[in-house]
Chains A and B, each alone.
Chain A
Amino acid sequence: MTYAAASSRRSRSIPTKALAATVGLVLTLILAACTPAAAPTTSVAKRTLTVGATLEPASMDPWHNTAASIPQVLLYNVYETLVKVDSTGGIKPLLAQAWEVSPDRTTYTFHLNPAAKFASGAPVDAAAVVANINRLKTDAKITETLRAQLAVVAGAEATGTDQVQINLTRPSLMWLYDMSSTLGMILDPAFTGDLATASAGSGPYAVKTHTQGESVVLTNNTKYWGNPARFDEVTFRYSTDPNPQVASMLSGDLDVISNLQSPDALSQFADASQFTTTTGTTNGEVVLGLNHDNKALAKLEVRQALTMAINRRDLIDTVWNGQGTLIGSMAVPTDPWYEDLSGTNPYDPAKAKALLKDAGYAPNTLSLRLRVPVVPYAVKSAQYVASQLRDIGVKVTVEELDFTRWLDEVFTKGDYDMTIVAHVEARDLGKFANPKYYWHYNDPKFAQLYTAADEATSEEQGDELMKQATKYLADQAAAIWLFALPNLVITKSTITGVAQNATTLSFDLTTITSR
């Protein structure tokens, strides 16, 4: 031992040299790798945009797959619709320059833009629109959502080269809105390829590649009939974990975070010289769903008591960094019939306890299971809700399930008392009119109100009736509406034109530019 120690003293400089050489080698390798990262796109002056998004689509086919992540990429960017919903919720022309509605509201005549053409160069004419309606009508495998939306369509016929008439079986307020989304996407009838991997739309972009587990790349449609695309290539990069997304944005790898899933991270983007934060609303109602098959929850007093037990303003501040809108019913601020109903059954724990007692539940005699999917807003809200319900003497057990298990046990089999999930579809009030839907809310009066609103003879009357239906739901405490998810878009300060509100499922690239 003494010998070894003595020997090492004599040769002190050698191991240091070896170490220095190794460290030097490693550093050289790192630096060599660093150099291209600093200037990634200097070789070609390509205009690119990299968008960070959360859920990756499994395929590029929106007609046979309900995932909202598909229209996020494709709607308006790759596939265009006859009409489009703008950032304020209004319906605007897109492929159709104008349209007329018959007095009985069952016949819609659309005048197509004669300039419109597909990426293949073929015109988007009346025949193409009719072919699309017929294609969906005869496809046995389209999603149930599309099938339900299509049920109201009696048929379509070309009444001119660029004029198409669509007949409905009954008037429907919702139908034109539905046509602004997946239902209305017009596919090139000549396309024979695989929709899951390729695209054939008339929008400013086309699908270039989809690398599973990584990204979807859109490329500029050079034959676009409208204002040319502002980018040569747009990449949607996916990460379900918000943290890598935040890091990518801070390190300059991303140009946009399409919707920040961790509002706590907002402060990291406070530097206005580097980043712009756009705050708006989405269609996502965070619903504390109640299972109406549960004997206690079938009672109005109990539902009212539970609603009054939860301080929803405080909940937003605690779990979502104060971002989001109090709604109070199944409508969001960009819906035409929206009114703030968060004052219905306001926070009042004392009254909540009294109501529970009236309903026959002494303190700590009511036990409920709150089964939530593992998504950030649901997990955080669940803890808060459980603690507030315990304060009024309701025993709550919180269970966290991965989304697939939630889909199976809660959503499909109805094995739950309470759950929390965001409903991101646009104008989805009608879900409460379906007694088979996972809330098992069976209220013929609401269903009647909703149908009357949808079938109204004028848009104004329809909106008014929808408003009444929304108010009725809030009064009935059919569910507890915690808040509407905010639209938090982070962009580099050089990027402008991002829509403030997410009124559709699309992440609309057509308005975005780079300075």
Chain B
Amino acid sequence: MHLALRIARRTGVFVVSLLGASLLIFLLTNALPGDVAQVLLGTDATPEAVAQLRAQLGLDRPLPVQYFSWLGGILVGDFGSSHLSGLPVLTLLAPRIAVTLWLVLFGMIGSLLIAVPAGMVAALKRRSWPGFTISAAAQLGMAVPVFWGGILLVLVFAVWLHWLPANGYVSLATNPAQWAAHLVLPSLTLALVQAAVLIRYVRSAFIEVLNEDYYRTARSIGWTPMRALFRHGIRNASISLVTVLGLQVSTVLVGAIVVESVFTLPGLGSLLLTAVNQRDLLVVQGTVMFLVLAVLAISALVDLSYLLIDPRQAAASEQGEGSA
């Protein structure tokens, strides 16, 4: 298939998925019992006041009208405004996205820093104790729930050792050192859990490389196993690794939401939780829509990144012989 066609098809899937997601998100959030007018007015509100506020907020309009007005807004970059604070949803989202983005980024980098070396060792030493230990540790890591891992790290590094803050957040602009300090434990929590999943994939990818002819050739001309793996192994192993990473992004985002709650980080997760609890529907819809957008965009990027990692695929695309 031609490269341009392939990109166009990917974009089509992307748009249709987004539309489907938007409808699903809208229907689900509107199915929640209770409403924001009541939350806004509190326990002393009269039914008349609640009805008046609902009308003022446009919550009394038929659902299709509300859906299309929301969707129309999104198309021109307007996600609406929070019923509760009156601030535009995008204004509320922006600082939260930064927090979650840092967390996901450091979590991913951390998990790679742990998983790649550990997975390589586990592959090279798969028949001796370092290999067994790493595999066992990875199994254990997968069995541990994210929040529990976080609580353990807080207990050790914050409560016992007093090295790091237990929770909370300081923005990068306010104090870079404090910002870093507040992100260490949450990122490490996310990285450890994620690494446990990745190690297995890294290990099997490298075992495959160890059985390849090019590896044997490299070894036979006198290269050490590490040199052979670094020069030829990593690039070949990274195709399956990138696939897994792409698939894992949604898991990492969910993990980040749990981690945010353990460490009271003001990210997308906590915004979403508060908004759901207060029925601030436009904020809920905007946040979920953004998360869907992020996951879909990443999976599209992963798809396209194969072309960069594996020149054979790009060449095949150009010649119109490859398959999507």
Contact = CB atoms under 8 A, between A and B. Distances in A.
Interface string B142-183: 000000000100110011001111111100000101101101
B181 A14 contact: no
Contacts of B261: 241
Contacts of A243: 151
Interface stretch (B5-13, B59-67, B73-81, B266-274): B266-274
Given A15-B120, A58-B84, A67-B42, A248 B167 contact: yes
Nearest to B216: A3
Contacts of B278: 58, 404
Contact of A8 (B42, B110, B124): B124
Given A143-B44, A252-B162, A408 B38 contact: yes
A406 B43 CA distance: 11
A145 interface: yes
Given A7-B219, A19-B118, A213-B96, A237 B168 contact: yes
Contact of B159 (A5, A211, A251): A251
Nearest to B118: A19
B169 A34 contact: no
A244 B46 contact: no
A10 B224 CA distance: 8
The residue in B84, B178, B184 that gathers the most chain A C-beta atoms within 10 A of its C-beta is B184
Contacts of B164: 30, 33-34, 37
Contact of B263 (A244, A409, A411): A244
A457 interface: no
Nearest to B87: A212
B20 interface: no
A247 B166 CA distance: 6
B231 to A, nearest CB: 14
A45 interface: no
Contacts of A409: 33-34
B92 A247 contact: no
Contacts of A92: none
A212 B82 CA distance: 12
Contact of B181 (A18, A37, A196): A37
A67 B279 CA distance: 16
Contacts of B301: none
A403 interface: yes
B226 interface: yes
A15 B121 contact: yes
A244 B38 contact: no
A506 to B, nearest CB: 18
Interface string B195-226: 00000000000000011000010010000111
Nearest to A21: B117
B159 to A, nearest CB: 4
Given A67-B42, A212-B266, A213-B96, A253 B165 contact: yes
A393 B166 CA distance: 48
A101 interface: no
Contact of A34 (B32, B85, B163): B163
B18 interface: no
B277 A248 contact: no
A248 B166 contact: yes
Contacts of B177: 33, 35-37
A26 to B, nearest CB: 6
Interface in B271-288: 271, 274, 277-279
B55 interface: no
B271 A19 contact: no
A344 interface: no
B38 A37 contact: no
Contacts of A402: 34, 277
A38 interface: yes
B178 A214 contact: no
Given A144-B45, A239-B167, A7 B85 contact: no
B159 A247 contact: yes
A103 interface: no
A411 B163 contact: no
A50 B174 CA distance: 17
Contacts of A19: 117-118, 121
A251 B162 contact: yes
Contacts of A32: 180
Interface in A379-408: 402-408
A18 B169 contact: no
A239 B260 CA distance: 11
B42 A244 contact: no
Interface in A199-229: 211-214
B85 A212 contact: yes
A411 B41 CA distance: 13
Nearest to B276: A402
B35 interface: yes
Interface in A12-48: 14-16, 18-19, 22, 25-26, 29-30, 32-38, 40
A50 B169 CA distance: 14
B252 interface: no
Contact of A66 (B32, B43, B85, B277): B43
B222 to A, nearest CB: 11
A273 to B, nearest CB: 15
A244 to B, nearest CB: 4
Contacts of A148: 44
B39 interface: yes
A365 interface: no
A493 interface: no
A501 interface: no
A8 B125 contact: yes
A144 B46 contact: yes
A37 B155 CA distance: 16
A4 B208 CA distance: 11
Interface in B120-135: 120-121, 124-125, 127
Contact of A11 (B178, B181, B225): B225
B1 interface: no
Given A59-B85, A407-B34, A408-B33, A213 B266 contact: yes
B167 A244 contact: yes
A250 interface: yes
Contacts of B118: 19
A294 interface: no
Contact of B117 (A8, A18, A244, A412): A18
Contact of B110 (A26, A36, A237): A26
B49 interface: yes
Given A238-B264, A252-B162, A408-B38, 5 more contacts: A7-B225, A15-B120, A212-B266, A405-B32, A409-B33
Interface of A: 1, 3-5, 7-8, 10-11, 14-16, 18-19, 22, 25-26, 29-30, 32-38, 40, 58-59, 65-67, 143-145, 148, 196, 211-214, 237-239, 241, 243-244, 247-248, 250-253, 402-409, 411-412
6 contacts: A8-B125, A15-B117, A15-B121, A18-B120, A32-B180, A402-B277
